Amino acid sequence: MAQAGASGRRGQSIDPHEAKEAVLGYCLKKGALAAGVADLDAINRIAPPGHRPADLMPRVKSVIALGVGGQTQGAWTVPAKAMAYFGSTETRAYTVAYGLSFFIENRFKARSIYCPPDLDNEEGPRVPLQSLKLHAELAGIGARSLAGDILLHPEFGYMYFASVFTELELPPDEPMQTNPCPAPSCVDLFRKQGQTPCMKFCPAQCLSGDIDEHGQQAAMHYEMSKCAELSEQYEALPRILSAAMAAEDAAAREDVLSDVDNSMFWYKMSVGSGGLLAQCFECMRVCPIATRSPLADPIRRAEAREAAANQDGTA
Amino acid sequence: MTFGLSKDQIGVTESQIDTFGELIFQLSHNVQDRRGDPVRRKDFTDYERQRAGFGMSDAEIAERIGLSKAQVTAIRNIVERRKVRTTTYYRLNELGGGKRFRADEFVAPEDRPAPSGKALALRTALQFDPDRTRHYVGQCWWGNDTLGGWLQRHAGERPDHEAVAWDGGTLSYAELEKQVATVAAGLRGLGIGSGDVVAVQLPNTADCLVAYLAIAAAGAVMTTIYMPYRTDEIRPLLAHSGARAFVCPPQLDDFSPPQAVLSLKDDLALLEHVITVGGAVDGCIAFDALKSPDGKRTTAVDPPVAADPFLLLYTSGTTASPKGVPLNYHTMLSNARLGAPEHGFTANDRLLSAAPFGHLFGLYSIHLALAVGATMVLLPAFSPPGLVQTLTALKPTGLFAAPAHIAACLGMGLLDDADLSSLKLAILSGAQVPPDLARAFDGMLPNGSVSQLWGMTELQAGTYTRPGDSLDVVAGSAGRASPGAEIRVVDENNTPLPAGEEGELQVRGVHLFSGYFDNPGANAAAFTDDGWFRTGDLAVVDGQGNMTLTGRSKDIINRGGVKFNPLDIERLLDQHPRVAQSAIVPVPDDVLGERACVFVVPGEGDPVTLEELCAYLLENGIAKTKLPERLEFIDAMPLTATRKIIKGRLKPSR
């Protein structure tokens, strides 16, 4: 729990509950459907070493999770290959989180970061730097489903999540009291066919599980490797090149490289290259102009604005 | 390389990969298991118990099993590469918009069989002129018509409409479609797939129809075996076609087709299955088993398309050995679709074929019926009483018959009192229609008329008279070219002749095949440089485009430079009371090049002499230069299965 009378970096007295109300209010105003504060102690008990919030931000005191709507209703009706292009919806969550970290620094003068959603590839297959899922679940804005632990919310369904770490102390929320998964109709199908809809219709057939006599999740089995065959397409690139190199002749090589499925990867690589590649930033981290110019620091910018406003008021 | 280190540097060996690879894969996030809801309940004890199931990082795995983290990472990476495929995006291509993935219907591309070499050869044989193809598609003559597509459309639009009717039963379009889908799935279960040839020797039964449509639905190719064929005729057709299955009845009179073909299996490397219709035979698959309702209904992995071959028919071979004619949907079904309105057929019609389905004329009736969703009325095997009974009982509106069928009924007086009121069109084909027969039969149809059609295995319906044509046109010609087709008559220099002049009939159009299968010699002779097919028939085309066959170009006799067509002479001779049947062939002559030799099957009375025949012909206006100069008696003419005389086998004694 956040302590009353907690202070921001600049020493102002901040009421954690008021701060939390402001933080969550910001999230909802900017488009999040749900937001909450995760129990940092619980995260530290569950996340393995190297993937705890303090591993990323040493003085983190609170983890804020927010979720934005997954898809429009119309999107669920379009062909699967077209829907694949809607996958960038999660960037809306990142945008809110990114803005929230600025908001907290501006408003409460407490250092904050937008938690990178990316993978920590050296640690295992598709292991994230930080588990946004864990943050959201502990913040009470989603519960693990039978569909590969995708989080579901009883009101907002399927959401994209983002997290913000901050040195501002905020009182944590509790996980949801009940898990909306499986839905009664899914239980019915499971009783009849031994599969819930997500298991039955998964193109990779990567899901299985069990439901107890109360209609609650008893077991979830998820073969991420199979799922990744379909969904983690970046893994295809080296294999396509490898297959091309191993091709028997020039014509077969061209077949591999120009295969219609494979061409989708080239397309995505081309489209995504601006946002997905060359995102190192180390040159900027060490650049004094970039980081230490008078108004490069958002907190300084805010202080400057406030100072200017006070001066005008005095005048 | 892992973290810049080679396998050797971090001590990873193949044996280590074999030993730990699967374990590391299972412990990693590649496979995740969760029991209950420990995270939401913040039950850290339970979570710790399950931590391995949730998926462990490489560092955790390393700690757990006693390897270095670099070794775990390297091994995991290698195992993932070997186990996990990444080009499965195609699975999404057909999903969404209401269509869900069905594991029981999905066949991965790597599991789809490639067409056999024979099947690919069949496709290769279908090489059409690109300019004409563009023209046909541009005119919407060629589209994506398939038998399966037509059947599904009718089953969907009018499921209860009668599709098949025979003495003893009916099938609605929905029932027919269901049976066809079940048998097609059964055939696919036998490994019969795209482009595979299935030989069929069946009478015109509902099972024959289902077999034909199921073979097509499976993407396979049907080759028909004429019902009179026995072992010696069947063997070369199965060998040349490369048939993978043979569908037949258990018994035909004293001949057992399944036993005969089973005895040939050692000689026929590609033949795998013998399927019997109407009874079980040891070593064979029962067709009824394929029709079982327990049979799994699955969608073809690659449903046939119009460019696919679906028939491999053999010419009747009047002058040479039968030639294989591969046919695709484009040619055959465009011919039927465009032809149906020309004949005046609609979904309300009931089409009966007295011609066997083993012959393209019989199949044409099926194609027409399916083009419009009409009812197919079945007569399993022709007999004059059977035909008349079917006409009376099942009330077809369209009849497809050979002149011989009608002649037989007329000869027995069966049509005199028959109720033919249902017939609105009787299409006669398969042989030259005697004008008197056409007139006589036309006069017996109170609500209909006769049409004369000329076709070939190579092109299905080439020309036909239309309803509304005068009786003179119907009795005297085979009508005008079918829609999308052209005909012309040329001289020996391939120069088109004006109307009314006799020459070789040539054809091109949407219905024309692209070439004989595996027969480059025949193909070289069959087509002109500009794509016209040399039919080998002699014909005259009148000013209105009506075509009349006058003979076969190969029957022409060149007597010292005077060329003549013996057909008229043969017709006269066949009317002689002491001649049952005649055929005139050329015999080599040192002086004149060729002379005419007449083969005669004796008729009533004493054998006729050459002098008597010549006198008879002169009396009937035949020029002296056309008179036969030799006479040979023969007990019976060598006939094709379609009752045409094989003149190539008529060799005069020395």
Q: Encoding tokens for residue A144?
A: 């693990």
Q: What is the mean pLDDT of residues A164-192?
A: 95
Residues of chain A in contact with residue B90, where contact means CB-CB under 8 angstroms, are 261
User: By the 8 A CB rule, do A93 and A115 touch?
Assistant: no
CA B86/CA A227 separation, integer angstroms: 10
Torsion of CA B38, B41, B46, B51, to 10 degrees: 40
Q: What is the mean pLDDT of residues B452-475?
A: 96
Asked whether residue B229 carries a pLDDT value surpassing 90, the answer given is: no
pLDDT for position B293: 57
Asked whether residue A8 carries a pLDDT value surpassing 60, the answer given is: no
Q: Tell me: the pLDDT tens digits for B66-90?
A: 999 999 999 998 898 888 766 677 7
End-to-end CA separation in angstroms for chain A: 42
B28–A264 C-beta distance less than 8 A: no
Closest partner CB to B35 (pick from A39, A218, A225): A218
Q: Return the number of other C-beta atoms located less than 10 Å from residue B262's C-beta.
A: 17
Residues of chain A in contact with residue B87, where contact means CB-CB under 8 angstroms, are 236, 239-240, 259, 261-262
**A197 to chain B: closest CA residue:** B100
Residue with tokens 């009747």: B316
pLDDT for position A238: 81
pLDDT for position A95: 93
- Best mutation site among B3, B27, B34 for testing chain A: the one with the most A CBs within 10 Å? B34
Residues of chain B in contact with residue A122, where contact means CB-CB under 8 angstroms, are 3, 58, 73
pLDDT for position B61: 93
Q: Tell me: the pLDDT tens digits for A257-274?
A: 877 777 777 777 766 654
Exposed/middle/buried for residue B493 (C-beta within 10 Å: 0-12, 13-18, 19+): exposed
Asked whether residue A133 carries a pLDDT value surpassing 60, the answer given is: yes
Closest partner CB to B31 (pick from A84, A123, A225): A225
B76–A203 C-beta distance less than 8 A: no
pLDDT for position A277: 42
User: By the 8 A CB rule, do B463 and B433 touch?
Assistant: no
Asked whether residue B348 carries a pLDDT value surpassing 70, the answer given is: yes
Alpha-carbon distances of A27 from A21, A33, A98, A135, B283, rounded to whole Å: 10, 8, 10, 15, 75
Q: How many CB pairs under 8 A join A and B?
A: 161
Q: Over chain A, what HEC string results?
A: CCCCCEECCCCCEECHHHHHHHHHHHHHHCCCCEEEEECHHHHHHHCCCCCCHHHHCCCCCEEEEEEEECCCCHHHHCEHHHHHHHHHHHHHHHHHHHHHHHHHHHHHCCCEEECCCCECHHHCCCCECCCHHHHHHHCCCCEECCCCCCEEECCCEEEEEEEEEECCCCCCCCCCCCCCCCCHHHHHHHHHHCCCHHHHCCCCCCEEEEECCCCCEEEEEECHHHHHHHHCHHHHHHHHHHHHHHCCCHHHHHHHHHCHHHHHHHHHHHHHHHHHCCCCCHHHHCCHHHHHCCCCCHHHHHHHHHHHHHHHHHC
Q: Tell me: the pLDDT tens digits for A104-125?
A: 999 999 999 999 988 887 787 7
pLDDT for position B654: 63
Task: Give the H/E segment covering residue B600.
Answer: strand B593-602
pLDDT for position B526: 93
**E-strand stretches of B158-229:** 162-166, 169-172, 197-200, 221-224
Closest partner CB to A143 (pick from B40, B42, B89): B40
**A148 to chain B: closest CA residue:** B32
A82–B28 C-beta distance less than 8 A: no
State the amino acid at position A40 in one-letter form: L
Residues of chain A in contact with residue B101, where contact means CB-CB under 8 angstroms, are 201-203
User: By the 8 A CB rule, do B479 and B470 touch?
Assistant: no
pLDDT for position B648: 77
**A215 to chain B: closest CA residue:** B36
pLDDT for position A282: 65
Nearest chain B Cα distance for residue A113, angstroms: 24
**What 8-state DSSP symbol labels residue B111?**
G
The domains found in chain A, sorted by start residue, are 6-180 (3.40.109), 182-231 (no CATH)
CA B484/CA B653 separation, integer angstroms: 47
Closest partner CB to A125 (pick from B47, B60, B80): B80
Interacting residues of B614 by C-beta distance below 8 A, sequence separation 6+: B627, B628
Nearest chain B Cα distance for residue A52, angstroms: 13
Interacting residues of B25 by C-beta distance below 8 A, sequence separation 6+: A225, B31, B76, B79, B80, B83
Residues of chain B in contact with residue A235, where contact means CB-CB under 8 angstroms, are 84, 86
A127–B87 C-beta distance less than 8 A: no
Q: What is the mean pLDDT of residues B35-56?
A: 93
Closest partner CB to A80 (pick from B25, B92, B103): B92
Q: Tell me: the pLDDT tens digits for B410-441?
A: 989 999 999 999 999 999 998 778 899 999 99
Report percent pLDDT > 90 for chain B.
Answer: 68
- Best mutation site among B1, B27, B32, B82 for testing chain A: the one with the most A CBs within 10 Å? B32
Asked whether residue B212 carries a pLDDT value surpassing 70, the answer given is: yes
A225–B83 C-beta distance less than 8 A: yes
**A42 to chain B: closest CA residue:** B42
Closest partner CB to B39 (pick from A51, A134, A239): A134
Residues of chain B in contact with residue A51, where contact means CB-CB under 8 angstroms, are 57
Closest partner CB to A144 (pick from B39, B101, B106): B39
pLDDT for position B320: 56
Q: Tell me: the pLDDT tens digits for A80-93?
A: 877 777 666 788 89
User: By the 8 A CB rule, do B260 and B231 touch?
Assistant: yes
B30–A224 C-beta distance less than 8 A: yes
**What 8-state DSSP symbol labels residue B368?**
H
What is the residue-averaged pLDDT of chain A? 85
Alpha-carbon distances of B369 from A112, B171, B433, rounded to whole Å: 76, 14, 24
Asked whether residue B110 carries a pLDDT value surpassing 80, the answer given is: no
A203–B88 C-beta distance less than 8 A: yes
Closest CA to A142 of A34, A29, A221, A62: A34
pLDDT for position A11: 54
pLDDT for position A127: 86
Q: What is the mean pLDDT of residues A16-27?
A: 96
**A139 to chain B: closest CA residue:** B40
CA A179/CA B40 separation, integer angstroms: 8
CA B253/CA B10 separation, integer angstroms: 79
Exposed/middle/buried for residue B350 (C-beta within 10 Å: 0-12, 13-18, 19+): buried
Assign B387 to helix, strand or coil: helix
Exposed/middle/buried for residue A309 (C-beta within 10 Å: 0-12, 13-18, 19+): exposed
A42–B96 C-beta distance less than 8 A: no
Decide if the complex's ipTM is over 0.85: no
| Length of chain B (residues) | 654
B39–A175 C-beta distance less than 8 A: yes
CA B436/CA A148 separation, integer angstroms: 81
Interacting residues of A63 by C-beta distance below 8 A, sequence separation 6+: A37, A38, A40, A43, A53, A115, A135, A138, A139, A163, A164, A165
What is the residue-averaged pLDDT of chain B? 91
Alpha-carbon distances of A206 from A61, A231, B357, B425, B573, rounded to whole Å: 37, 12, 49, 61, 81
CA B268/CA B246 separation, integer angstroms: 11
State the amino acid at position A281 in one-letter form: F
| Length of chain A (residues) | 315
Q: pLDDT confidence of A315, banded at 50, 70, 90?
A: very low
Alpha-carbon distances of B460 from B444, B456, B464, B511, B638, rounded to whole Å: 27, 5, 11, 7, 25
Task: Give the H/E segment covering residue B324.
Answer: strand B324-328
pLDDT for position A275: 44
Residues of chain B in contact with residue A223, where contact means CB-CB under 8 angstroms, are 30-32
Closest partner CB to B87 (pick from A138, A222, A261): A261
Backbone angles phi, psi at A92, to 5 degrees: -65, -40
B95–A79 C-beta distance less than 8 A: yes
Most trustworthy range by pLDDT among A69-73, B495-499, B564-568: B495-499
Nearest chain B Cα distance for residue A12, angstroms: 34
Residues of chain B in contact with residue A124, where contact means CB-CB under 8 angstroms, are 28-29, 55-58, 61, 73, 76
pLDDT for position B294: 57
Residues of chain B in contact with residue A39, where contact means CB-CB under 8 angstroms, are 42
Closest partner CB to B84 (pick from A49, A216, A229): A229
CA B357/CA B365 separation, integer angstroms: 9
pLDDT for position B595: 87
CA B14/CA B27 separation, integer angstroms: 19
Q: Tell me: the pLDDT tens digits for B520-556?
A: 888 988 999 989 999 988 899 999 999 998 877 778 7
The domains found in chain B, sorted by start residue, are 7-84 (no CATH), 147-541 (3.40.50.12780), 556-649 (3.30.300.30)
Interacting residues of A168 by C-beta distance below 8 A, sequence separation 6+: A6, A8, A14, A19, A23, A61, A62, A104, A108, A110, A112
Q: pLDDT confidence of B249, banded at 50, 70, 90?
A: very high
CA B352/CA B377 separation, integer angstroms: 5
Task: Give the H/E segment covering residue B216.
Answer: helix B206-217
Residues of chain A in contact with residue B106, where contact means CB-CB under 8 angstroms, are 203
**A231 to chain B: closest CA residue:** B89
Asked whether residue B274 carries a pLDDT value surpassing 80, the answer given is: yes
User: By the 8 A CB rule, do B180 and B173 touch?
Assistant: no
CA B287/CA B249 separation, integer angstroms: 10
Asked whether residue A2 carries a pLDDT value surpassing 50, the answer given is: no
